[in-house]
Amino acid sequence: MSSVPSGIHDLDTRLARTAVLIERLLENLLADEPAEGEVTRPARLTAAMRHGALGGGKRLRPFLTVEAGLLCNAPAERGLRAGAAVELLHCYSLVHDDLPAMDDDDLRRGRPTVHKAFDEATAILAGDALLTLAFEVLANEATHPDGAVRAALVTCLARASGVGGMVGGQMFDLAAEGRFEAVRGALPDAEIRRLQAMKTGALLAASVEIGARLGGADAAALAALGRYGRALGATFQIADDILDVESDAAQMGKATAKDADKGKGTLVGALGLAGAKRERDRLSAEAVEALSGFGEKADVLRAAARFAAERKS
């Protein structure tokens, strides 16, 4: 497997290079041919999994895993495998979020969502399969030879994506729409931040932590990168809320202006558009500051924090 060239410091170049390498690895992981120990793979299921995981997105989460790993001296090949696992889990969440029972979206990355391209039952199973494959990849010795490290990676991803992380955040999000009982007034600022820290921020922060753990980061480095990951995750979500207001579907590759239509709590709603932009920029600066102890080696991660605030899609 080709590795990400650590001597290249341009963010766009490194993002693009990592995306290509992750795409190749995902193609191999999602092949029709059964892996060792499997009986067979249903062709319709693997096709739906590929539709949900391949051919789109900036691959920011695996990029963060690779870059945090490089920062902590992990081999790029290990970072790519762990990053692919994070991306598989992220793609599962998108497939399920798009379902009629959840966000009911027809468009994702500029093309039909999995339940539209196939059917709802296949989309559910494709998401389930992407989720479980993510943990299989992390638990494989090819990701790291030390079983204790692999266990730590699995634990990190499970906590970020489960009841106290992404899934729990999605539950709060559904409640904020009034799915289960009438919502009385706008969500308080603190509740919006909690929801977003779980639904979006937890997986972004875990992407960074997993890379750091791959490289054997010490407690101080883990703490600093934890602050970076949490601030980056919050930056990303506020930027997404702003784009939902300011962009169109062609630019975003998905439906926009849906948050306001559903009455979802966002910091744009709580702080106003100008206030949300100020908070986005403050959090981006906080993420950059968290890397102050790493020197020039962390410049790419600093650029990623600025990118999360300035992105247009």
Average pLDDT over residues 219-245: 95
Structure tokens, 242: 């702003």
CB 59 within 8 A of CB 80: no
Average pLDDT over residues 113-137: 98
Measured CA to CA, the distance from residue 65 to residue 74 in angstroms comes to 10
| Structure confidence at residue 184 (pLDDT) | 66
Domain ranges of the chain: 11-307
pLDDT tens string 76-100: 999 999 999 999 999 999 999 999 9
**pLDDT at residue 105 is higher than 50:** yes
Query: E-assigned strands of the chain?
Result: 107-108, 111-112
Q: Which helix (H) or strand (E) holds 104?
A: none
Measured CA to CA, the distance from residue 264 to residue 256 in angstroms comes to 13
For the ranges 16-20, 64-68, 211-215, 266-270, which has the lowest average pLDDT?
266-270
pLDDT tens string 169-178: 999 999 988 8
Beta bridge partners, 111, equal 108
pLDDT tens string 21-54: 999 999 999 999 999 999 999 999 999 999 999 9
Q: What is the pTM of this model?
A: 0.92
Sorting pLDDT into bands at 50, 70 and 90, what band is 252?
Answer: very low
Higher pLDDT, 1 or 129: 129
- DSSP, res 293: G
Q: Domain spanning 11-307 has what CATH number?
A: 1.10.600.10
Measured CA to CA, the distance from residue 97 to residue 90 in angstroms comes to 10
